Amino acid sequence: MQQRTVITGTGCFIPPVVKENKDFAQQSFYGEEGTRIEAPGSEIVEKFQEITGIEERRYASEGMNSSDMAIEAARRAIADSGIDPEQLDQIIVAHNFGNVISHTIQTDILPALASRVKHALGIRNPQCVAYDILFGCPGWLQGVIQSDAFIKAGVAQRTLVVGTETLSRVVDRYDRDSMIFADGAGAAVLEARPSDNTQAGILSCSVQSHCTDEAYYLFLGKSNLPEADPHVRYIKMKGRKVYEYAMQHVPAAMKDCLDKAGVPIEEVKKVFLHQANEKMDEGIIKRLYKLYGKKELPEHIMPMNIHKLGNSSVATIPTLFDMVKKGQWDVHDLQPGDVVLFASVGAGMNINAVCYRM
C-alpha cells in the first residue's frame, strides 16, 4: 500500500537573548578590503533594516549549544505528536557548524548532534538511526525530503527532523552582514499514513544544487578587521550574488514543485520561505506568481518572523511553521486541507521546495 508522509508534530525553541539593531550602533564596521566604513553606526543600522527587514534577532545564552536547542525543540515536537520516542526510526539534525563553544570559533560535531539528541531523549532502540545533514540553510527541508523518501520506500515509519544553529558564534562582528544572523531550533515529527486514508501529507518536492561559480557565494573567511588573526575564519557572504541567484532560481524550483504536485497556484494557502532577507523573500514570491501570470499576491500569503527573530538558517522554516500551525504568529492560521509551499535557498548553492497538504 502506498504511504504518504504526514507531519504529526512540531516544536521550536526561541533563544532568550534579544539583540536589537540599536545594540550595533556603536560597532565599527569594515568592508571586505579592510577599510573602515566611516558612516555613522546609526545610519548603517537604519539602512540594514530597510534592506533586510530585521529589527532584532535572538542569540543563545552563553551556556547553551546548538544541540541543547535541538533537544528542546525535539522534545516539544514529540510531545505535540504524541508518539513514543522509542518508535522513531530516524533522527535527522540539520545544521552548518555543529556546537560552537562560547568565546571560541571551534566546531564540535563529535559525536554528531543527532546522536546527542537521541542520547538526551533516552532512546535505547538501536534501530533508530541518528545522523546529521549539511545542506546550508535548506538543511531542515532537505531532511524532510529525505524522510519522505525513506517512508515511501518502506524503510522508515516515523522520523524526527530538527534544524538548529548558533550563527551568532561564527559571525565577524566587524562585517555588516553579521547583523543578519541569529540562533534558534525547530523540529517536526513525520509519520507514514496510508494514502487511501488521508489526503494530508507531502505532495511533491524539488531540489537543485548549483556548484560551479555559485559554490562559494557563502564561505568561511578572515575578519574584515585588518589586524585580526588571519587564521580565524568566520561566515562570509557575497550578498549581491546570493540575491541574484535566489531571484533567478528559487521561483522556478517552487513552480516545478507545484507543477509536480498538480496544484494550481490559486490553491496555495501559505508560502513558508527561508527567512533570509525580507526584500529577497518578497522578490522571490512576486516572481513565483509572475511565472503563473499573476501580478497581485493573495493577502497574508507569506508569514514572516525575520523582523523579530533574524536569520537562523536551518531553523527559520520549522520555527515559523510551528508558530503559524499553533496560532502564535500574527494573522496567519492553518486548517486541515490547506496546501502550503515550503522553499529554501542557501550555501552550496542549494535550493529545495516541498508542497504539503495539511
Report the percent of the chain where pLDDT is more than 90.
76
Q: Is the pLDDT of residue 284 over 80?
A: yes
Query: For residue 219, what is its C-alpha cell?
Result: 564561505
pLDDT per residue as tens digits for the range 258-269: 999 999 999 999
The helix/strand/coil state of 9 is strand
Place of cell 562560547: 102
Q: List the beta bridge partners of residue 298.
A: none
Q: What angle do CA 87, 91, 96 make, to 5 degrees?
A: 170
Cβ contact 89:155 at 8 Å: yes
Give the architecture-level CATH label for domain 3-194. Answer: 3-Layer(aba) Sandwich (3.40)
DSSP codes, 171-214: --TTSGGGGTB-EEEEEEEEEEEETTT-S-EEEEEEEEE--SGG
> Domain spans of the chain?
3-194, 201-301+324-357
- Angle formed by the axes of helices 239-261 and 278-291, to 10°? 40
The band of 167, judged by pLDDT with boundaries at 50, 70 and 90, is very high
Phi, psi torsion values for 345, nearest 5 degrees: -145, 145
Q: What is the DSSP letter of 181?
A: B
Gap between the Cα atoms of 288 and 252, Å rounded: 7
Residue 304 Ramachandran class (φ > 0 left, ψ -120 to 50 alpha, else beta): beta
pLDDT at 105: 75
Q: What is the DSSP letter of 35?
A: P
Q: What is the DSSP letter of 130?
A: E
Among 191-200, 305-314, 341-350, the minimum mean pLDDT is found in: 191-200
pLDDT per residue as tens digits for the range 41-84: 788 888 889 889 999 999 999 889 999 999 999 999 999 999 99
Cis status of the peptide bond prior to 304, with omega within 30 of 0: no
0.85 exceeded by pTM: yes
Phi, psi torsion values for 186, nearest 5 degrees: -140, 150
pLDDT at 215: 94
Cβ contact 208:350 at 8 Å: yes
Whether 3-194 shares its CATH topology with 201-301+324-357 is answered: yes
pLDDT per residue as tens digits for the range 99-156: 998 777 788 888 999 999 999 999 999 999 999 999 999 999 999 999 999 999 999 9
CATH tag for 201-301+324-357 (out of 3.30.43.10, 1.20.120.350, 3.40.47.10, 1.10.620.20): 3.40.47.10
What is the sign, positive or negative, of the torsion defined by CA atoms of 140, 144, 149, 151? positive
Q: Is the pLDDT of residue 195 over 80?
A: no
Cβ contact 245:239 at 8 Å: no
List the beta strands (DSSP E) in 29-89: 56-59
Cβ contact 292:255 at 8 Å: yes
Q: How many CB atoms lie under 10 A from the CB of residue 336? A: 9
- What are the Cα distances from residue 139, in Å, to 134, 228, 345? 6, 31, 9
